[in-house]
Amino acid sequence: MKAESNIPSPYVFPGQYIAGSWRPGRHGNVIKDANPFDGKVLLEVVGADRTDLDEAYQTAKTAQVAWEHTLPGQKAAILRNVARIMRERKDEIVSWLIKEVGSTIIKATIEADMTVAGVEEAAAYPYRVEGKIVPCDDEGTETRIYRRPIGVIGVISPWNFPFYLSNRSVVTALAVGNAVVLKPSQTSMVTGGLLLARIYEEAGLPPGVLNVIVGSSSEIGDAFVTNPIAGFISFTGSTSVGRHVAQLCKTGKYIKGIALELGGSSPMVVLDDADIDMAVGATILGRFLHQGMICMSTNRVIVDSKVYDQFMKAFVPRVKALKYGDPNEPGCLIGPMVNQDQFDLVIDQIKLARKEGATEVLGGEPVGMVIPPHIFTDVTTDMKIAQQEVFGPVITVFKVNGDEEALRVCNDTDFGLSSSVFTQNEARGVSFARRVEAGMTHINDMTVCDYPNTMFGGEKNSGIGRFGGEWIISEFTRDHLISVKRTKKQYPF
Ligand code: NAP
Ligand code: MG
């Protein structure tokens, strides 16, 4: 097979990706991308300014027209190429996820595989953008509903699962005929943006359909959201920035659509008939995978007093035995915090939990940027540590009496993303789950669950909007009513 001459292997990233070209930004500030585990600088990129941003949006607007009218089979073929390249370059992707954002091998591998699954799912979407004809009471009129892409979608993504989360918006937006301008977090400029640009470029996506802008949020953040070409903003990140972005979406030249996938404080409930061994395993992976830096991560485990001692007896030693440290080490579950700000935030939350009177049954001093696993018991809902999102390897354990108290503690939060309940009685689990205030509740599984073909999304301060299958197809397209009058109508004037 003929080798691709213009595609480097491994990929190099000479800066911004705008209109199918690679070049430095015009802002002049150098943005450093560093390995959080050893501090080594991996890449330096000259940041984008607002003229770069305008150019990206303009080129996306122009390119979108032809992309929308590209045959579904041709769009699908490009997306299948994307999936193939991701498989072929999996080692390179995994390596970047480890060195750029401190992913362990376990997490990076899960993320790479989930991303391919998401692309394969989306490759069918070009065929699923369907309209309908609706009955009409006006004689001789046919009312048709056409389904069409929004146009240009602005995507803002976080650093924690950057490859998967950026791609989750990008691939689905493209699949239904939109063009995209993507702004990854500066902390994950490669895995959240530039690496995807390389892959889509190699897969044959026409220039301008996907553009990636790397820049400081204070310089281009607000302008990214208010740009009139962006018909819709798909934001994944913290609740505080999401709130700001939502306000901006209503204040620019045009009021625009928005989907917000925000923070969480996911509860895991262990009822008195739970399979304790399984519940312990789910708590460990659901909390400590990626050192707790996942939106669906189990922040709180709520255990019925009848099985509390049994749960803790199994849980604490298994957590104590977890391997933490160098994310390149096979079997390591807890790697470094992604940057100094996140490290400081979690250390402050640990101090807060102690100050509020929670009992630290497991702790330890950080080694470099790595925080060992922490377990706090005797936690009550009035404590701040119980109310905040903890984006680190720290779990709070609640002891409750019966299902009603478990439910009260479970719902006593401003967030509502994921949740789970453990019971060996399926009917009891479903009836409990139906009263949980969350977008997603898993019975006998961990809170960290995401299937690309089904619904994903949160309630309360965890956001608005839904991903997955028919939900994202609907989110990233709009209905257009076109009525056809076939008979001569007598107008009164
Ligand atoms: P963040 O600080 O809110 O940043 C998210 C994105 O917004 C980044 O690209 C960031 O860029 C950008 N940004 C910051 N200020 C902006 C502004 N004024 N205008 C436009 N963009 C702006 O969140 P994070 O720290 O990256 O990620 C962690 C948070 O994301 C957690 O709360 C987590 O729960 C949440 N999350 C939610 C989901 C979900 O699906 N519900 C998934 C993953 C993560 P810079 O970083 O370059 O400033
Ligand atoms: Mg970094």
Same-domain check for residues 74 and 117 = yes
Q: What is the count of structural domains for the chain?
A: 2
C-alpha 463 to ligand 1 mean position (Å): 12
Looking at the structure, tell me whether residues 173 and 256 fall in a common domain: yes
Ligand 1 atom closest to the CA of 218, numbered from 1: 18
Burial of 240 (0-12, 13-18, 19+ CB in 10 A): exposed
Whether 285 and 363 share a structural domain:
yes
For 42, list phi and psi in degrees, rounded to 5.
-95, -35
C-alpha distances (whole Å) from 36 to each of 90, 112, 232, 326 are 21, 20, 33, 11
For residue 297, the ligand 1 atom closest to its alpha carbon is 34
Determine if ligand 1 sits within 6 Å of the CB of residue 33. Answer: no
CA atoms of 182 and 445, how far apart (whole Å): 33
What is the per-residue pLDDT for 5?
55
pLDDT digits (tens, 9 = 90+) for 133-183: 999 999 999 999 999 999 999 999 999 999 999 999 999 999 999 999 999
> Ligand 1: does its nearest atom lie under 6 Å from the Cβ of 188?
no
Name the residue range of residue 361's domain: 266-443
In the reported structure, the alpha carbon of residue 338 is separated from the centroid of ligand 2 by a whole-number distance in angstroms of 7
CATH number assigned to the domain comprising residue 147: 3.40.605.10
Is residue 159 in contact with ligand 1, taking CB distance under 6 Å?
yes
- Decide if 448 is inside a domain: no
Q: Any idea which ligand is nearest the CA of 32? A: 2
Does the beta carbon of 247 sit less than 6 angstroms from any atom of ligand 1? no
Same domain, 314 and 233: no
In a domain, 42, yes or no: yes
The CATH number assigned to the domain holding 434 equals 3.40.309.10
* Residues 271, 400 within the same domain: yes
Structure-token match 């706090």, residue found: 376
Which candidate, 420, 391, 413, places its Cα nearest to that of 288?
A: 391
Is residue 341 domain-resident?
A: yes
Is the shortest distance between the CB of 222 and ligand 1 below 6 Å?
yes
pLDDT in the model for residue 252: 85
378 within 8 A of 354, measured Cβ to Cβ: no
Residue located nearest, by CA, to atom 11 of ligand 1: 185
Does residue 450 belong to any structural domain of this protein?
A: no
Ligand 1 contact, 241 CB (< 6 A): yes
The verdict on residue 451 lying in a domain is: no
Structural contact between residues 291 and 266, judged by C-beta atoms closer than 8 angstroms: no
246 lines ligand 1 (CB under 6 A): no
Query: What's the confidence (pLDDT) of residue 472?
Result: 98
Q: Is residue 312 located within the same domain as residue 165?
A: no
Tokens linked to 401: 């009496």
User: Does 195 lie in the same domain as 157?
Assistant: yes
Residue 196 sits in the same domain as residue 275: no
* Cβ 77 under 6 angstroms from ligand 1: no
For a ligand 1 pocket test, name from 53, 156, 248 the mutation site with the most ligand atoms within 8 angstroms of its C-beta. Answer: 156
264 Cα: distance to centroid of ligand 2 (angstroms): 23
- Tell me the pTM: 0.97
Pick the ligand that lies closest to the CA of residue 101. Answer: 2
Of residues 264, 265, 269, the one with CA closest to residue 400: 269
pLDDT per residue, tens digit, the chain (493 aa), is 444 557 888 999 999 999 999 999 999 899 999 999 999 999 999 999 999 999 999 999 999 999 999 999 999 999 999 999 999 999 999 999 999 999 999 999 999 999 999 999 999 999 999 999 999 999 999 999 999 999 999 999 999 999 999 999 999 999 999 999 999 999 999 999 999 999 999 999 999 999 999 999 999 999 999 999 999 999 999 999 999 999 999 998 899 999 999 999 999 999 999 999 999 999 999 999 999 999 999 999 999 999 999 999 999 999 999 999 999 999 999 999 999 999 999 999 999 999 999 999 999 999 999 999 999 999 999 999 999 999 999 999 999 999 999 999 999 999 999 999 999 999 999 999 999 999 999 999 999 999 999 999 999 999 999 999 999 999 999 999 999 999 999 999 9
Cβ contacts of 40 within 8 Å, gap of 6 or more:
34, 99
Q: Which of 295, 389, 410, 475 is catalytic?
A: 295
Indicate whether residue 339 lines ligand 1 (CB < 6 A). Answer: no
On whether residue 349 sits in a domain, the answer given is yes
| Protein residue with least CA distance to atom 8, ligand 1 | 185
Q: How far is the CA of 184 from the centre of ligand 1 (A)?
A: 9
Closest ligand 1 atom to the C-alpha of 240? 3
**Residue 32: inside a domain, yes or no?**
yes
Ligand 1 neighbourhood includes 262 CB (under 6 angstroms): yes
Rounded to the nearest whole angstrom, what is the distance from the C-alpha of residue 243 to the centroid of ligand 1? 11
Q: Which atom of ligand 1 is nearest to the CA of 458?
A: 41
- 295 catalytic? Reply is yes
- Residue 404 within any structural domain of the chain: yes
- Same domain, residue pair 221 and 195: yes
256 and 272 belong to one structural domain: no
Q: Indicate if 240 and 162 belong to the same structural domain.
A: yes
- Of ligand 1's listed atoms, the one at least distance from the Cα of 263 is 34
109 closest CA partner among 94, 120, 123, 122: 94
Residues 439, 467: one domain?
no
- Position in ligand 1 atom list of the atom nearest CA 295: 34
Query: Ligand 1: does its nearest atom lie under 6 Å from the Cβ of 160?
Result: yes
Q: Is 136 one of the annotated active-site residues of the chain?
A: no
Ligand approaching nearest to the C-alpha of 193: 1
H or E element: which one contains 421? strand 420-422
Please name the residue whose Cα sits nearest to atom 2 of ligand 1.
Answer: 238
Catalytic residue among 55, 120, 121, 261: 261
Question: Three-class SS string for 346-397?
Answer: HHHHHHHHHHCCCEEEECCCCECCECCCEEEECCCCCCHHHHCCCCCCEEEE
* 186 CB near ligand 1 (under 6 Å): yes
Tell me which ligand sits closest to the C-alpha of residue 239. Answer: 1
